[in-house]
Structures are given as structure tokens and as C-alpha cells.
């Protein structure tokens, strides 16, 4: 939901004090409605799998929303799940990440469909985020986009059944049936 | 579901005689499972909306699946809904031989990749002027319009709102008409 007409910056964002969740995307302020049960369940399951893999292999940290990532003066996002490699942990200051994480997962909902699939897609591509997972609970589908020469390429996709693999987290794969309800 | 390993042609397809539904995409044969109820419900809603608009203006023909659209020797598709304008009516015979003006696909988990990526490229290459993709699970719709041989996202809505289109000027679809309130 777009909120107010002006060019919002990171500073303006910090000045907000009403306990709501917002993102700033290219200078526009969006309020983030509380996610639905199905969204949270799918997001939680993926996070559980990611965290198990990342911790076991001591690769870095996994965090979930709401957690601020400042990508520029006019872009502040709260992705659903974020992987920050050991090398990038130094960019966490005052509890926020300044700069791109290594991998982002967004679980799409009707109200975020456009933002996740197109707006954030471009933002993450431009910010140099190496891998972007788009999860569609309704279609029981997962897409894995990997940066190649500055552009996202579809590295893996599965819908209904099957598995997807990560490139950034070598050896990590998700079987759709671990994440979505059996139909 | 991909069926058999060989290069399938339109001729091979015609000889299949087992009452199942298939598509041939770039020489690969895919069996089409029967769609689930939700898919058919949405198809009906969109179909009715399109049908009335097209008939009121005598603009052409609206056809729901299954109807064969033969785009080349190696490509036979059965889109969920097609619109063929009056000007383009020569392509309509016992099947459709050529590119309709507009195609609608309603995505399901088994067709997600095919609809969103494979058929997207096929329709783009075939010069189909407009491609609507409907995502029932995310209550979202996209309208892609051909511009200099490439699809551009012309209109999109998720959760609520309306989509506009270019080929059927004046037709607006409100998501709540299609997915319910």
C-alpha cells in the first residue's frame, strides 16, 4: 500500500514513529500489512531449512522480517528472509544492514505480488544481490534467480512438485513438498 | 507432464487417438491433466466477461479451451482462452491455424513454468499481440503487450484493482469480478 506523496528517504523513514511496518522503494513509502497465516507458515519452513544449512556449515546468518536493509538513500526494504555471509556481517550497524545481503527470499502474497515480482526484482538486481528466491504459495512454485553479468537469470524453477537448488549456498536444495501442503 | 522422447510434429499429434489432451511445444509432447475446479471457475468468469465485450462490439471470436492452435509444425497449444479478431478470421477453420490476437492462460502448479516462461516466449515469437496471465493462487493478473517483437508488462494487479488492455480497448477487468471479493 503506497502511503504518502513525496520523495521518502532513509532519514524520513527513521523519523516515522507509529509502530507500523514500512518499506521505502525508490523514494515511495509503502505500509506493510501483517502477513497471512499461509505466508508465515511457508516463510517459516523455508527459513528453518536455510538456517539449518547455514549454521551447520558456519556460512553466516539468516534473519527474517522485519529487519531493515538499507540499499540506498531512497531504498529501505524488509525482505521475508535474508542470508548474510560471514564476509558481509561487518555491514550490520545499529542493528540494520547497510548494503546488499547475499541472498533474499520473498514469499509473494496478493498485495505484494507486483512489488516482489517486478519492483524489488529490479532493485535487488541493481543492488547486486547474488540470488533472489521468489516463492508463490498459491501456485506452489519457487523460482531461483541468480545474478549473471548484472542481470538475473532463472537458475531454477519448480512448481507443484520437484526441487530447487541454490547457487550461492552450494549444496542447499529445497523439495517443494517440504514447504507446501500436499495437495 | 512430458510424455515421450522424440521430436513431435503436428502430424504426429493428429494421429494420437486416446482421448487425452496434449500440447506440442517445440517438438515435445505434453499431456494436459484435467484442470481443477478453481481454474475452470476463473476461466468461466473471464470468458463471460470477454464474450460479452467482444459480442457487443462484434469484434470477433472468443473460444475457451480445449481448442487447438497450430503455431508451427512443432507447436500446437491449447490456450485457456483465445480471441481472434474479425480481421484475422481466416485463421479459423476446423482448428486455428496461426496466431490469435489475444491469449489468456490461467496458471496452475503443474503449468506454472510452461505458462510463465515457455509459452510466454512462444507467444511472443508467434507475434500474439497480447498475453494475459492469471495467477489464481496469488489473485493476480498480468497483461503483456507486444512492442517491437517483445512483450512488455502493460498492466498488472494483485489482490485488488483492475487490469487494462490494449487489444480490446475499453475492456477493464476488476480482480473482484474474477476471484470474488
Task: Give the pLDDT confidence score for residue A70 in this predicted structure.
Answer: 94
Band (B6; pLDDT cuts 50, 70, 90)? confident
Q: In this structure, what C-alpha cell is assigned to residue B86?
A: 474479425
Query: Quick check: is B14 in a domain?
Result: no
Chain B partners within 8 Å of A136 (Cβ):
112, 135, 137-138
| CA distance to partner chain B, nearest, from residue A154 (Å) | 10
In B84-123, the residues whose Cβ lies within 8 Å of chain A are 107-113, 117
ipTM, two decimals: 0.74
CB < 8 Å to B114, chain A = none
Give the pLDDT of residue B1: 61
- A-chain residues within 8 Å CB-CB of B112? 136, 139, 141, 157, 159-160
Domain count, chain B: 1
> Does any domain span residue A165?
yes
Vertex B43 angle, CA A183 and B76, to 5°: 90
Which pLDDT score is estimated for B2? Answer: 66
Q: Give me the pLDDT at residue A80, please.
A: 95
**CA dihedral (B97, B98, B102, B103) positive or negative:** positive
Instruction: Answer whether residue B8 is part of any domain.
Output: no
DSSP B121-172: HHHHHTT-SEEEEEETTTTEEEEEEEETTEEEEEEEEESB-EE--STTTT--
On whether residue B20 sits in a domain, the answer given is: no
**B135 occurs within a structural domain:** yes
User: pLDDT for B159-179, tens place per residue?
Assistant: 999 999 999 999 999 999 999
**Position B109 in a domain:** yes
Write down the pLDDT at residue A169. Answer: 98
Cell 545481503 belongs to A101
Give the model's pLDDT for residue A1.
Answer: 60
Residues of the domain holding B90: 35-179
Instruction: Examine the pLDDT at B181 and tell me if it is beyond 80.
Output: no
**B21 domain residue, yes or no:** no
Range of the domain at A75: 36-179
Are B113 and A138 within 8 A, CB to CB? no
Number of domains in chain A: 1
* Rg over CA atoms, chain B: 16
Q: What is the pLDDT of residue B35?
A: 82
Looking up residue B142, the CATH number of its domain turns out to be 3.90.1570.10
Q: How does DSSP classify residue A29?
A: E
Q: Is residue B108 part of a domain?
A: yes
Distance CA(B103)–CA(B99), nearest Å, equals 9
Residue contact B135–A139, C-beta within 8 A: yes
Residue A116 lies inside a defined structural domain of this protein: yes
Position A28 in a domain:
no
| Range ranked top by mean pLDDT from A47-51, B7-11, B30-34 | A47-51
- pTM of the predicted structure, to 2 decimals: 0.84
Residues of chain A with pLDDT under 70: 1-4, 182-183
Contact B158 A157 (CB under 8 A): no
Confidence of residue B85 (pLDDT cuts 50, 70, 90): very high
Exposed/middle/buried for residue B11 (C-beta within 10 Å: 0-12, 13-18, 19+): exposed
Residue at B9 is within a domain = no
- Best CA proximity match to A12, nearest among A70, A99, A74, A100: A74
Instruction: Report d(CA B53, CA A140) in Å as an integer.
Output: 33
Residue A169 lies in a domain: yes
Task: Kindly identify which residue of chain A lies nearest to residue B153, measuring between CA atoms.
Answer: A118
Q: How is residue B34 written as a grid cell? A: 484435467
Q: What is the pLDDT of residue B4?
A: 65
Classify residue B2 by its DSSP letter.
Answer: B
Which residues of A fall within a CB distance of 8 Å from B153?
118
Check CB contact under 8 Å for B112 and A141: yes
**Which position has the grid cell 486416446?**
B18
Interface of B with A in 140-179 (CB under 8 A): 140, 153, 156-160
**Has residue B3 got a pLDDT over 70?**
no
Beta bridge pairs of residue B96: B69, B92
Domain for residue A164, yes or no?
yes
Give the separation between CA B58 and CA A175, rounded to whole angstroms: 49
Amino acid at each position: 500500500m503506497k502511503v504518502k506523496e513525496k520523495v521518502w528517504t532513509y532519514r524520513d523513514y527513521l523519523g516515522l514513529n507509529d509502530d507500523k511496518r514500512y518499506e521505502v522503494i525508490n523514494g515511495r513509502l509503502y505500509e506493510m500489512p501483517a502477513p497471512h497465516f499461509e505466508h508465515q507458515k511457508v516463510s517459516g519452513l523455508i527459513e528453518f531449512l536455510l538456517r539449518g544449512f547455514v549454521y551447520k556449515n558456519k556460512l553466516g546468518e539468516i534473519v527474517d522480517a522485519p529487519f531493515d536493509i538499507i540499499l540506498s538513500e531512497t531504498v529501505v526494504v524488509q525482505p521475508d528472509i535474508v542470508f548474510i555471509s560471514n564476509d558481509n556481517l561487518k555491514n550490520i550497524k545499529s542493528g540494520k544492514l547497510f548494503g546488499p545481503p547475499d541472498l533474499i527470499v520473498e514469499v509473494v502474497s496478493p498485495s505484494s505480488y507486483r512489488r516482489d515480482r517486478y519492483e524489488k526484482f529490479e532493485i535487488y538486481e541493481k543492488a547486486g544481490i547474488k540470488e533472489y528466491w521468489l516463492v508463490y504459495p498459491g501456485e506452489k512454485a519457487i523460482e531461483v534467480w541468480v545474478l549473471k553479468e548484472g542481470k538475473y537469470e532463472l537458475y531454477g524453477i519448480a512448481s507443484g512438485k520437484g526441487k530447487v537448488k541454490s547457487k550461492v549456498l552450494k549444496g542447499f536444495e529445497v523439495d517443494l513438498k517440504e514447504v507446501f501442503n500436499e495437495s | 507432464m512430458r510424455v515421450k522422447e522424440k521430436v513431435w510434429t503436428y502430424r504426429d499429434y493428429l494421429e494420437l487417438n486416446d482421448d487425452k489432451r496434449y500440447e506440442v511445444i517445440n517438438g515435445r509432447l505434453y499431456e494436459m491433466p484435467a484442470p481443477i475446479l478453481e481454474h475452470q471457475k476463473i476461466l468461466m468468469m473471464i470468458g463471460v466477461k470477454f464474450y460479452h465485450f467482444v459480442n457487443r462490439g462484434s469484434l470477433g471470436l472468443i473460444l475457451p479451451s480445449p481448442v487447438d492452435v497450430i503455431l508451427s509444425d512443432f507447436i500446437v497449444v491449447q490456450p485457456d482462452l483465445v480471441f481472434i479478431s474479425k480481421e484475422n478470421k481466416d485463421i479459423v477453420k476446423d482448428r486455428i491455424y496461426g496466431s490469435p490476437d489475444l491469449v489468456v492462460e490461467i496458471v496452475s502448479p503443474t503449468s506454472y513454468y510452461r505458462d510463465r516462461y515457455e509459452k510466454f516466449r512462444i507467444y511472443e515469437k508467434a507475434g500474439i499481440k497480447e498475453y494475459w496471465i492469471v495467477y489464481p493462487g496469488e489473485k493476480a493478473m498480468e497483461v503483456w503487450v507486444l512492442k517491437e517483437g517483445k512483450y512488455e508488462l502493460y498492466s498488472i494487479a494483485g489482490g485488488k484493482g483492475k487490469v487494462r488492455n490494449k487489444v480490446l480497448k475499453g475492456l477493464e477487468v476488476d480482480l473482484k469480478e474474477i476471484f470474488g471479493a
